[in-house]
Amino acid sequence: MNISVFGLGRVGLPLALYFAEHKQAVIGVDIDKTRVDTLKKGEMPFLEEGAEPLLKRNINKLFTVTTNAEEAVKKSDVIIMTLGTPVDEHVNPIFSQIEDVLVSIAPFLRKNHIVVLRSTVSPGTTEYIKRFIEKETKFKIGKDLFLAFCPERIAQGFSLEEFKDVPTIIGTLDKESAKKVDAVFRTITDKILHSDARSAELAKLFTNMYRYINFGIANEFMMIADTHDRNIHDIIELVNKDYKRGGLKTPGFSAGPCLFKDGFFLTNKIPFTELILNSWKLNESVPAYLIEKIKTKKPLESSKVAILGLTFKKNSDDIRDSLSFKTKKIFLAEGAQVSLHDPYVQNDSLEDALKGADVVFVAMNHDFYRDMDKNIIKKNAKSDALVCDIWNVLGTNKIFYPVSEIQK
């Protein structure tokens, strides 16, 4: 079986490598020539646990990379699209990446091609692709060509570890497509769930929004606890410890390219949008809320703020839509000087970021910060510095506290 994977980002590249490791011939396609050249040298363009050995083992053998869509389609039996679906300034979905690939591959589609969409999309997109293909070619889906939506369900950064454990959802518009796509994914997993395409599209969106709403609840509870002058981390322990109906999430920055935007795929056609939109407003307001609280404890004008953690998720190098940069902008607007540190992103050294800091703002719960010698903060920040640690990374069970309270 020859497979082409369009889009060699954090979704497509691990999937391509996993297929190659399971003895399938894979062509990776990307418009980014720099990324393609990097991969040809056997170098990963981003962090992905365990990926580099697979890349070095398979590159230019079972796994090849190119910018030539025509070449890839002509050589492939299966075409998997792992493309971005951002939103515009009015938070409407943008499908230009998918449409561009469809336009580029349509002239080269042939009978029995299998097309799989693995992007996060608004409900009905698979049906739109069916109409597009049948309009632009002589083929009929389910008879001549086969189409499915198979959402990405893997934690980015740990894809290779999770592929074998997380069931693959195959959503189709006809039984023959279901059978054909099942055979493709059986080469890498036995855990497969079948459904119709729209249910599969909704399942992906519901998964992301369920998590996002839970984070929104945690952040709102943090604010409510604060109005009562109580600490949310103490209360969460009371709620969750040895209680089977607990499960309350901890507060923190909730963002990234999926959680930030996916709710808008669900709300653009319905009038009852309050739960999702309020979660979005809550989660997006957390940086400003925390900074307003800091201002009541310490003047920010001409102060130095060290922001620790720049990515949108733990132990990752992915900074897309990270709230750390919104935090930086707000601090700068308040007249503060801002230094940045992240163990996975090239910026200031930890010592330089902390040196002379009036405020230490822990923006991401990387294990690096949890495991480091906490004295590095005391040693470099000012002795009267204020710490803001919404994640409780430093283990004080408080969000705001003087640097002197940090323990080893």
CA 140, 143, 149, 154 torsion-angle sign: negative
pLDDT of residue 268: 63
**DSSP letters along 114-159, please?**
EEEE-S---TTHHHHHHHHHHHHSS--BTTTBEEEE----SPTT-H
pLDDT of residue 87: 66
What gap in Å lies between CA 114 and CA 174, rounded to an integer? Answer: 13
Phi and psi (nearest 5°) for 391? -85, -10
Work out the percent of the chain whose per-residue pLDDT is above 90.
80
Question: Tokens standing for 338?
Answer: 């801002």
Q: Express each pLDDT in 390-404 by its tens digit.
A: 999 999 999 999 999
Q: Express each pLDDT in 211-235 by its tens digit.
A: 889 999 999 999 999 999 999 999 9
β-sheet with 400-402: strand ranges across: 337-341, 304-308, 359-362, 386-389, 400-402
Q: Taking a C-beta distance cutoff of 8 angstroms, is the pair 134, 143 a contact?
A: no
pLDDT of residue 103: 93
Element (H, E) at 81: strand 78-81
Question: Tokens standing for 93?
Answer: 């979905």
Question: Tokens standing for 157?
Answer: 């950064």
Q: Are strands 25-29 and 63-66 parallel, antiparallel or unpaired?
A: parallel
**DSSP letters along 82-96, please?**
-----B-TT--B--H
pLDDT of residue 407: 82
**DSSP letters along 339-407, please?**
EEEBTTB-SS-HHHHHTT-SEEEE-S--HHHHHS-THHHHHHS-TT-EEEETT-TTSSS-SEEEGGG--
Distances (CA, A) of 292 to 86, 334, 407: 30, 10, 26
The single residue listed with the structure tokens 């909730």 is: 254
Phi and psi (nearest 5°) for 289? -60, -50
Least trusted range by pLDDT, from 90-99, 329-338, 341-350, 376-385: 90-99
Q: Express each pLDDT in 334-378 by its tens digit.
A: 999 999 999 999 888 999 999 999 999 999 999 999 999 999 999
Contacts of residue 220, Cβ cutoff 8 Å, sequence gap at least 6:
282
AA letter at 200: A
Task: Please return the burial class of 180, using the count of CB atoms within 10 Å of its CB with bins 0-12, 13-18 and 19+.
Answer: buried
> Domains plus CATH for the chain?
2-196 (3.40.50.720), 230-405 (3.40.50.720)
Q: Express each pLDDT in 138-164 by its tens digit.
A: 999 999 999 999 999 988 888 898 998
Q: Taking a C-beta distance cutoff of 8 angstroms, is the pair 65, 30 a contact?
A: yes
Element (H, E) at 330: helix 323-333
